[in-house]
Structure 1
Amino acid sequence: MDGQENEQRNTGDADTPATGRGRRWALRRRGGDVSPGRGRGLTRRVGVALAVVAIALAGVVIGTFAGGRVQTDIGPFRAELTLAPALTGGTTVDIPPLGALHLDSHDGPTHLTVGLGALDQRRTEALIGDPASISRASQSAVTDVRTGVMRLGLRTAGATLLVTLLLAALVFRDTRRTAWAGGLALAVTAGSLGLAASTLRPQAIEEPRYEGLLVNAPAIVGDARKIANDYTKYAEQLQRLVGNVSQLYTTVSALPVYEPAPGTTRILHVSDMHLNPSGWQLIRTVVEQFGIDVVIDTGDLTDWGSEPEASYVGSIGLLKKPYVYIRGNHDSGKTAAAVAQQPNAIVLNNSTTTVAGLTIAGIGDPRFTPDKETSPAGSGLTKQVADQVIGAGDQLAATVRNSPTPVNIALVHDPASAGPLSGTCPLVLAGHAHARQVSKLPQVPGQMPTQLMVEGSTGGAGLRGLEGEKPTPLSMTVLYLDKDKLLQAYDDITIGGTGQSQVNLERHVVRDPKAGAEVPVTPTPTR
């Protein structure tokens, strides 16, 4: 018996129940190929490959979100470029709080976001101080974006490689598999960026899709180059035109028709600056040459009332004169707050102030144009809007009547608000229409007559005023009030547009201080 068992062990009998190795060996000898180990090995290799791919893709996604962003300068803006995985590709230009532009710039699987942040004060001041720099900035912006995108691509590739290697090392704890995952992640990232670069469509900038408040401002892209070129020519000419104001003042002040008395209060009425930096230079010249006591602004300093635009009001402090302001329909609460921070500024909102011996009442426009709940798109002066505008006049009229000191001047932005103020004060100043108009409000029996003076645009309607063949003229008015704070005369100052190298001043005598009666308008001196 012992001999038989030893013989079976030595011959490796397949029927021996003591071990499975004998059965497998016998099957191989007979030509069978049932190899469970080989099947399990193939499955294991496929699983490892899929794990490498999964780790690589996870590293690409995580690395792109974590490291796919760079800070760069684009013109006067501090911008952030961000890359994210996407199926449709394209580029989004965020201009907070105005909205965004969406460009079909390239195909997927990457989406570029350009976020324009705060304005750099030094570069912005240089841009405003040198009109030619606007053109240079528009040309360098493309280079700025290209440089930023290249930095973004390299940073993204580096981030995805690093994240993938860390993930693979933690999961596999194997150098070869970690290297395979890193190489695959780098290949996917490079391929995605290469696809975006190969499908780049520069002409997409000409057909943007607007979102947010920018729906109302297509000129920010469409006509930006034309406006910048026109502004450069216009600003260069304004440098010469503003100098003529002092010469004009010398001539006009010698006219015998009207000579301001020693106790005369001089007011400069400006309105609707609309971000035109050239308007500030003109205002400073007039303030100095005409001996202005108070500057009154009836609104629309900005176009969209955004936080970056608020920096535009910094020139108010340079005037060194009281600056009384009411908000226009293009100005926001942030605009009014920025004005209020100026040391010489007074913001009125259904309130009164006393400055230079004058009691002035004012109220801001009830609308905010970028907010379509208060200013419906394409609504014009509908009943809803008319009720808002006239209601503002009613509120201010009540404030004027309740003022403990008689009000000399009332301020509204839209002339449509002036009606309820008839008989409450002798003079109402307004803007909004971008065209001068002087008239008397319908007189209320038994009450004083009220004069309405609507100013043109001191900023020439802003950049939109350059879209036509000739820019909208810059205009402002110097008011002369006697010791009783009644209007005696006013000078309409107009700076001509491109091709009109002239400064016009029209002197109007409203009341002869000696005769106490109104007199005809004087001739128009022009230089």
Structure 2
Amino acid sequence: MDGQENEQRDTGGEGTPATGRARRWASWPRRAARSWRSGWLRRVGVALAILAVALGGVVAGTYAGGHVGTDIGPFRAELDLSPSLHGGTTVDVPPLGALLLNSHDGPTYLTVRLGALDQRRTQALIDDPASISRASQSAVADVRAGVMRLGLKTLGATLLATLLLAGLVFRDTRRTAWAGGLALMITAGSLGLAAVTMRPQAIEEPRYEGLLVNAPAIVGDARRIANDYTKYAEQLQRLVGNVSQLYTTVSALPVYEPAPGTTRVLHVSDMHLNPTGWQLIRTVVEQFGIDVVIDTGDITDWGSEPEASFVGSIALLKKPYVYIRGNHDSARTAAAVAQQPNAIVLDNSTTTVAGLTVAGIGDPRFTPDKNTSPAGSGLTKQVADQVIGAGEKLATTVTGSPRPVNIALVHDPASAGPLSGTCPLVLAGHTHARQVSKLPQVPGKQPTQLFVEGSTGGAGLRGLEGEKPTPLSMSVLYFDQQKMLQAYDDITVGGTGQAQVNLERHVIKDPAQGAEVPVTPTPTRGGPEPASPSPTR
């Protein structure tokens, strides 16, 4: 047997070691290719795993550590950095809204939140208004220093998060180091791309949200801005200065802290198809915690069928919306409002909402081609009888209500007279001019206050016919648990082409007598010149 095997090895026949060696040499390229493919796929898999861990660490580190606090002028601000498919900057100015800037490209988004004012510096601003300008001079340097600290902190946080994550996943020093280096490159590259693509001129064309949508000149006159960093710095100083002025004036308002159980009612009127009015209403509803919106009519201009779609924004408020028809609103308009899921249309009827019993009646006229006029002026006897008759009808309804009526609604203030003594408060509109007064008291009856609202839509296109545009007006009414009016805020936003925002607070000392604490108007405006208060009553 051994001899045969030796013979086979010597002859190199079939199945001999020589034949095996030949076969192994012949199959070596295939085995080498399989081994190379296996190694290449393994390396690709490791590389993808390292990349995934690095990206995860960058995102986690940015969310965990990408925020710093810094002083910007008189404000304490928070700077936050977050991953984003598109770059940009948001400047939050609570409770007014936000400015959205297309400031840079890249996968990083910067959010600047202006927080509380330092008490000591705030008092200094109130005592010396000129210090606002001085305080804002350091705004540019403050922002630059804050952004630098934010970038360095973000780099450190992403590197640390990636190293921890890679250590847990790989348990290999070399791969952990690769992941950390890659995370550092990604973060530094993203920040570098944002710096390289920085557009200082973006502050010329901000997009506004909240109340700021109606006061774009808070950042100054864009026509004066040149496309260079010096002008950008000037605009940033102006922004900080004007917002500082707003905060200091609001801080001087009489203090009124609504007690638990307070009902907040937003009174709007005379929208006249102005979509800007809806933007303002939505902002106030959200930021003031409104419970009920009351509309005293003229939501449209002509009461036509195409205008009916304008009332669709009522449903977006997601709050009860009590409405009466104005002289510019048709029956079709009232029907379109009634179709909104949160709307209540009153026409010589009552409703109870948020604990308040409200009675209302629509204007007896339909005169879409008529301009507004002061209450009771220029009315023929026939029309005057109609308007006063509507008030008399509602007074009968209020008197016969099984529940005491807290608020009565009429469109034209000329209808309010017969309601004196039937309820504590009557709301109206129509004249496009805000006014607060007492109705002549009926002996033995409760006193009745009449609140006439201006135009929440700035009188629509009619607001542009005069020398000065009609401002956008609305009021927030605060009722206590007994449904007595305790205070109210008058909000006025300058009309088209103007940039003044007024917030006036009125605190009622004795709700039974309707006496008020005298309040100085607190106007704010965009621009370097000081605002001059204009009476709204």
Q: TM-score, normalised by structure 2?
A: 0.49
- Distance in structure 2 (CA, Å) of the matches to 1:230 and 1:95: 11
Taking every aligned residue pair, what percent have the same amino acid on both sides?
A: 53
How many Å apart are 1:150 and its aligned residue? 0.9
Aligned: 1:122 with 2:120 = yes
Q: Secondary structure at the match of 1:366?
A: strand
Aligned: 1:458 with 2:515 = no
- Residue of structure 1 in register with 2:281 after alignment: 371
Q: Secondary structure at the match of 1:337?
A: coil
- Residue of structure 1 in register with 2:332 after alignment: none
Q: List per-residue Cα deviations over 1:243-267 (Å, max 9, x = no partner).
A: xxxxxxxxxxxxxxxxxxxxxxxxx
Q: Secondary structure at the match of 1:82?
A: strand
- Distance in structure 2 (CA, Å) of the matches to 1:379 and 1:470: 35
How many Å apart are 1:24 and its aligned residue? 6.2
Aligned match for 1:65, one of 63, 66, 80: 63
- Residue 138 of structure 2 aligns to which amino acid in structure 1? S
- Distance in structure 1 (CA, Å) of the matches to 2:43 and 2:169: 16
- Residue of structure 1 in register with 2:160 after alignment: 162
Name the stretch that deviates more: 46-55 or 217-226. 217-226
- Distance in structure 2 (CA, Å) of the matches to 1:431 and 1:136: 41
Aligned match for 1:421, one of 439, 451, 463: 439
- Residue of structure 2 in register with 1:196 after alignment: 194
Distance 1:210 1:32, change over 3 A: closer
Q: List per-residue Cα deviations over 1:327-352 (Å, max 9, x = no partner).
A: xxxxxxxx7427x89xxxxxx99xxx
- Residue of structure 1 in register with 2:320 after alignment: none
| 1:358-437 equivalent positions in 2, closer than 5 A | 366-367=267-268, 370-372=280-282, 374=293, 391=409, 421-424=439-442
Structure 1 residues not aligned, in runs of 5+: 236-273, 278-308, 317-334, 342-347, 350-362, 404-409, 435-452, 478-527
- Residue of structure 2 in register with 1:312 after alignment: 252
Q: List per-residue Cα deviations over 1:136-164 (Å, max 9, x = no partner).
A: 23222222221111111111111111111
- Residue of structure 2 in register with 1:337 after alignment: 257
Distance 1:6 1:122, change over 3 A: farther
How many Å apart are 1:110 and its aligned residue? 0.9
- Residue of structure 2 in register with 1:100 after alignment: 98
Q: CA RMSD in A?
A: 5.3
Aligned: 1:472 with 2:373 = no
Distance 1:116 1:170, change over 3 A: same
| 1:150-299 equivalent positions in 2, closer than 5 A | 150-222=148-220, 277=249
- Residue 462 of structure 1 aligns to which amino acid in structure 2? P
Q: List per-residue Cα deviations over 1:205-252 (Å, max 9, x = no partner).
A: 1210012222112132235867998999xx9xxxxxxxxxxxxxxxxx
How many Å apart are 1:23 and its aligned residue? 6.8
- Residue 26 of structure 2 aligns to which amino acid in structure 1? L
How many Å apart are 1:191 and its aligned residue? 0.6
Distance 1:208 1:469, change over 3 A: closer
| 1:41-52 equivalent positions in 2, closer than 5 A | 41-52=39-50
Distance 1:21 1:150, change over 3 A: farther
CA contact (8 A) 1:227 1:463 kept: no
Structure ID, larger Rg: 1
Aligned: 1:88 with 2:86 = yes
CA contact (8 A) 2:86 2:109 kept: yes
How many Å apart are 1:199 and its aligned residue? 0.6
CA contact (8 A) 1:106 1:199 kept: yes
CA contact (8 A) 1:84 1:112 kept: yes
How many Å apart are 1:8 and its aligned residue? 6.8
Aligned: 1:136 with 2:151 = no
How many Å apart are 1:99 and its aligned residue? 2.2
Distance 1:475 1:79, change over 3 A: same
Distance 1:424 1:72, change over 3 A: farther
- Distance in structure 2 (CA, Å) of the matches to 1:231 and 1:66: 30
- Distance in structure 2 (CA, Å) of the matches to 1:124 and 1:14: 102
- Residue 57 of structure 2 aligns to which amino acid in structure 1? G
- Residue 366 of structure 1 aligns to which amino acid in structure 2? H
CA contact (8 A) 2:420 2:439 kept: no
Distance 1:276 1:42, change over 3 A: closer
CA contact (8 A) 2:67 2:78 kept: yes
Q: Secondary structure at the match of 2:103?
A: coil
Q: Secondary structure at the match of 2:166?
A: helix
- Residue of structure 1 in register with 2:143 after alignment: 145
- Residue of structure 2 in register with 1:2 after alignment: 2
Structure 2 residues not aligned, in runs of 5+: 222-234, 270-276, 286-292, 302-323, 328-359, 362-406, 455-469, 471-514
How many Å apart are 1:458 and its aligned residue? 3.5
Q: List per-residue Cα deviations over 1:376-421 (Å, max 9, x = no partner).
A: 9x98998868989983989999786789xxxxxx999997665771
- Residue 188 of structure 1 aligns to which amino acid in structure 2? I
How many Å apart are 1:192 and its aligned residue? 0.6
- Distance in structure 2 (CA, Å) of the matches to 1:109 and 1:32: 46
- Distance in structure 2 (CA, Å) of the matches to 1:413 and 1:471: 29
Q: List per-residue Cα deviations over 1:41-86 (Å, max 9, x = no partner).
A: 2221222122222221221122212221112222333222111121
- Residue 520 of structure 2 aligns to which amino acid in structure 1? T
Q: List per-residue Cα deviations over 1:466-501 (Å, max 9, x = no partner).
A: 869895368899xxxxxxxxxxxxxxxxxxxxxxxx
Q: TM-score, normalised by structure 1?
A: 0.50
- Distance in structure 2 (CA, Å) of the matches to 1:156 and 1:26: 57
- Distance in structure 2 (CA, Å) of the matches to 1:129 and 1:411: 40
Q: Secondary structure at the match of 2:267?
A: coil
How many Å apart are 1:197 and its aligned residue? 0.2
- Distance in structure 2 (CA, Å) of the matches to 1:230 and 1:212: 17
CA contact (8 A) 1:13 1:26 kept: no
How many Å apart are 1:375 and its aligned residue? 8.5
- Distance in structure 2 (CA, Å) of the matches to 1:122 and 1:70: 22
| 1:477-492 equivalent positions in 2, closer than 5 A | none
Q: List per-residue Cα deviations over 1:496-524 (Å, max 9, x = no partner).
A: xxxxxxxxxxxxxxxxxxxxxxxxxxxxx
Distance 1:184 1:124, change over 3 A: same
Distance 1:467 1:145, change over 3 A: closer
- Residue of structure 1 in register with 2:107 after alignment: 109
